[in-house]
Amino acid sequence: MNTPRTVRSTLLALLALALAASAAVAASVSTTAVADAPRGPSLTIKVAGPVARIVVTGPKGFKKTIVRTTTLRGLRPGAYQVRASKIKVGRSSQAAPGTYYPSITTRKITLGKRTRTTTKVRYSLTRLRLAVGNRPRGTTAPAVLVQPNGKQRKLKLTKAVTLSNVPAGRYTLKLATIRSKDKRRPGTYTAPYPTTITVGKGQLGKLTTDYDVVTSPDLVVASATDVVSVATSTEPAGPGVVRMVTGYSPGDIVSIPPGAATPTGALVKVVSVGATQAGGAVDYQVVNADITEAVTEADFAASVPTSFDLSSANPETSARRRGKTPFAKSLTCGGSANLEVDAAVSGSVDTTFDLSWKSTYVKRGPFWVWSGATPQVKMDATAKVEAYARATISGKASCELAETNLLVTPLRTAPIPIPGVPGLFLTPESQFTISGSVSSEATVATGVEASVSSSIGATVTPDKATPYFLPPKPVLSAQAPSISAKANASVYLGNKTTFLVNGVAGPYVKMRIGPEFAADPALRPWWKLDLGFKAGVGFRAQVLGFKIDKFFDDFAHATFPVSQAAGGIGDDGTVDTGLPPTGPALRSIATYGVRNDLQCSLYTDQDELGEFFGDNGPFTTEGSASDDNGDACGTFAVIDGVLYGPRKIPAFYYSDSTEERPVVPWQPVSQTLSGSNTAASPSVLRTVVTAPGTGVQLVQTDKWWAGGSAISTSIKVVNAGAPRAVRVSRGIDCYLGDLDTGYGEMRPSAELVGCLRTIVPDSGPEVEASMRLQSLTPGSTWMEGYYSDVWDAMTAMAPLPNTCRCSEDIDNGVALSWAPTLAQGGDTLLRSELSLTRAGS
């Protein structure tokens, strides 16, 4: 019989045995789990959409069909191929019927021993979203949709609609004119610009056409034959009398097209009706009408090419009769001294206008009455001037030749209709000018023959005007000067082209070029000959109702060396201007950082927030890719049709969407920092990344110092795989000066784009600061524009468009792109610079 002690001992022994057995079982289960865990690389296919059919093939005959999000584990290292096929869905399916297309059709993936890779595939119907902008309330917009097969589909749109399962291809949306009796916004609504889009398979195309032009119910478009005569002037100075056929009433705004009585057209408002004349015509007392009263809302563009040639314009000059150059002038400078000028000029101006305004109305009694408009005028002109100018000064003299018109009557070309605005026309009018200044102690003879092209423009509102120009690049030759004493001379020839709106003043473009000569025996070199360039734009729009009179004569001024005592022009007869000297910086670097996935951030001593959009705070110079910090700046590459870049860029959205672009993150390899962050010993950060599975490696080296104003970047692209073309890009969403919006700049000859911001200092006048991205490796493409448009272009796997929305105040960004072709085992070096400076320097 067991004693209590014996029973207790037995129970304890049994308990210990049970615990030991339990531990053994647990150990056995744990060991089995580790033994069964899949090893090696894995591939995750993420599927978006209601259907999918994806086939993955790989080494040793591997093949797997996937219809939903799946992770393939325990794979062999090697090359895999992902193929996605389109799927036709009938009406019996739970998914909407139609043909679903995958976002990718084929993708090659190389897996290493420990690679974990994810590929996204989205299945979608081809869809087209149609919308109408500025449609008056209570109206239906009759529309015609031109389909890829050329057939037209008639629609009546009262709201945005989405058409599903449409054929891929090119679509055009046209809107018919509608009339609105809405008391606040009455008038005739016109959409002068049909919009077009090309929709890819499985994509969503967004097509919006706007009613850009609204004309007043009082606007009447006359026939050119309605006007019998203009009895008195209808110039802006005052009222006039126009004799027209009957049918007009006081208050009518009459748009008169060009004709015998009104060569450039006219826009008048009938004040009163006079007597009926023989033949039934009536004398109408009129005043010039404001264009904004006739066209109450507008957003339209017009392109006007204009050519000019003084040789054919002025055949009766004395110079032509003498068989010399088309223009000659002789001035007496006092005593026996004279200035003799021979000159010729020709060229062209291609001008694009973008005019927009909206009228305001005030309520008077039961009626809403027009009270004016606030316009915005944008003008971009690409001008080319070819001129020959020779000046001879004899005797001790000082002469001034004020700007002089060379033509008694300006040249006018045929009127050009303004799109969507019946009866309104732009008429280009050209005038040639010459001016000069001479101071000489002896006889001087010199001259220049040059061809200069440049782009100039301005954005103007009643409150603000912002002109801009791209520095020109001349092609020139020179007459060696004959000089024996101190002298200064300049002669400028040019053209001024004004664009008349129905015969009254409008915007103008002005460009002048000519030789600038200086000699002084006390200096070295003791004489030099330059080519001078001056350009300007202006807006005479007071008479049009815009209340804008802005002038920027000669706001663009540059000189180009031609010859001097120590040498001459280049062997090819050209001068490459390059960049002008950099002006003083308005921002100095406080911290600059590059994360180990090539995302960057920049903070300056003057601004509270970062210079790139994001404001996540500066990360350490050597930042981890796992950090959440980071701003909208980075290095990207397209390799084999796949976009590689930083893991997370703020607001890296598609245009008109909050959907982020797919990007495969760089795989960090190493990052090292050297230097003391001073001008004498700059910081040098070397970051190495790879594009997973491609054999392509990027070695990016950034160099800067605290208090400096520039960061130089070199990117060495190394290809260990098969020969291939790659596209490497650097992009920035600008936030310069704690401001998200501003203007831009572009210098094509320097492969430079930049963001401009108006900085208001604590004291002194406001200044224009610039953050520039410049390629130092020739052959790049570039872009400045709305930030998401820049991301779109940079990730579209194509060259950037070399464009700049320079004159628009927008949320902008900039980018550079290169497209080297790499041999197997080959490499290339791409260099660029990010700088902070004063605009215009």
- Amino acid letter, residue 477: S
Kindly tell me the burial class for residue 681, based on how many C-beta atoms sit within 10 Å of its own C-beta (0-12, 13-18, 19 or more). Answer: exposed
DSSP label of 177: -
Pair 83, 59: CB distance under 8 Å: no
φ/ψ of residue 194, rounded to 5: -60, 145
Tokens of 488: 């200064």
**Per-residue model confidence (pLDDT) at position 794:** 86
Residues 744, 760: Cα–Cα separation, whole Å: 18
Q: What is the mean pLDDT of each run of 10 residues along the chain (841 residues)?
A: 45 46 38 42 94 95 95 93 94 87 91 89 95 89 95 94 95 93 83 90 92 88 81 54 86 85 82 87 85 79 68 40 48 60 69 74 68 71 69 69 75 75 76 75 66 72 68 62 69 77 73 76 69 75 54 71 49 28 66 92 89 66 48 92 89 63 90 91 94 94 92 94 92 92 83 86 74 91 91 85 85 94 91 80 49
The residues, ordered by sequence, that sit 6+ positions from 58 with a Cβ below 8 Å of its Cβ are 75, 76, 78, 79, 80, 81
Please name the residues in contact with 728: beta carbons below 8 A apart, sequence gap of 6 or more. 635, 636, 637, 698, 715, 717, 817, 818, 819, 820, 830
CB-CB contact of 486 with 567 (8 Å): no
pLDDT recorded at residue 372: 64
Q: What pTM value is reported for the model? A: 0.52
Confidence at residue 317, expressed as pLDDT on a 0 to 100 scale? 39
Which residues have CB under 8 Å from 181's CB, separation 6+? none
Sheet strands side by side (includes 600-604): 600-604, 589-595, 622-623
Task: Name the token pair of 57.
Answer: 């093939």
pLDDT of residue 327: 56
Cα separation values, 555 from 306, 552, 827, Å: 22, 5, 45
The pLDDT value recorded for residue 343 is: 63
The string over 195-212, giving b where at least 16 C-beta atoms fall within 10 Å of a residue's C-beta and e elsewhere, is: bebebebbbebbbebbbb
Position 711 scores a pLDDT of: 94
Give the pLDDT confidence of 758-769 residue by residue, as tens digits: 887 766 677 778
Nearest to 808 by CA among 549, 550, 466: 466
> From residue 779, how far is each of 485, 717, 731, 774 by CA, in Å?
46, 16, 17, 12
Q: What is the pLDDT of residue 10?
A: 47
Distance in angstroms (rounded) separating the CA atoms of residues 830 and 219:
59
Structure tokens at 55: 């086939």
Record the tokens describing residue 149, joined without a space.
């097969």
pLDDT in tens, 500-515: 777 666 777 887 777 7
Question: Rounded distance, CA 606 to CA 616, Å?
Answer: 17
Residue 734 per-residue DSSP state: B
Residue 4 in tokens: 């209590």
